[in-house]
Amino acid sequence: MTVFKIDTSKYWASLVMRVQKAGKDYIAANIRPSYEPGFMDVSSIAGDILTIGQTKEQLIRKTFDQDPSSPTFGQRINDPNSSTGRWIWTFNQEMTKEAVKEIEEMCGVSNPHGETQYIWMQRGKDSQTASSLKQLTTAKSPDDIMAWWKEKEEGVKKTD
């Protein structure tokens, strides 16, 4: 059974995100159409990114309805004089084995389009970039990823 209801062979993941919210782990990805190796259409690469595992919601300023003849009199309604509001992303796909497996099928290098990035996002803190999907999904905390990078960097310095 597919989690994301897409054909994973037709897309590649440009960015995979892991987020913790209310004690639960969520996973999401920005995906793009996958093309034959010789195909290069810059307009489609720079076009809209599809997202899986998250939804985009527009926040519109609210006001109280002050028209006594309105059925919503006294209630909070969308402000008709407001310009477009902010957009927020809501993560809605819990990190399950099935979801990770589907995303894994879309990860890797997709020349000439790019390479998948793996990020553990934290509210109010710096995000941590993992080296692989396995590291992203098996780390206990973003600090584990940071320690791995420091260890790798020190190992490189010692051999120089």
- What is the reported pLDDT for 111? 54
96 and 39 both lie in a single domain: yes
101 and 28 both lie in a single domain: yes
What pLDDT digit, counting tens, does each position of 52-103 carry? 888 888 888 888 998 899 899 989 988 888 777 678 888 899 988 898 888 8
Cα 126 from chain centre: 15
Cβ atoms 133, 100 nearer than 8 A: yes
109 and 153 both lie in a single domain: yes
Cβ atoms 89, 54 nearer than 8 A: yes
C-alpha torsion sign, points 28, 34, 40, 41: negative
Quick check: is 45 in a domain? Answer: yes
Cβ atoms 30, 46 nearer than 8 A: no
- Which structural domain range is residue 134 located in? 9-53+92-159
Q: Which residue has the higher pLDDT, 1 or 113?
A: 113
Task: Look up the pTM and report it.
Answer: 0.70
The rounded mean pLDDT for the chain is 79
43 and 98 both lie in a single domain: yes
61 and 126 both lie in a single domain: no
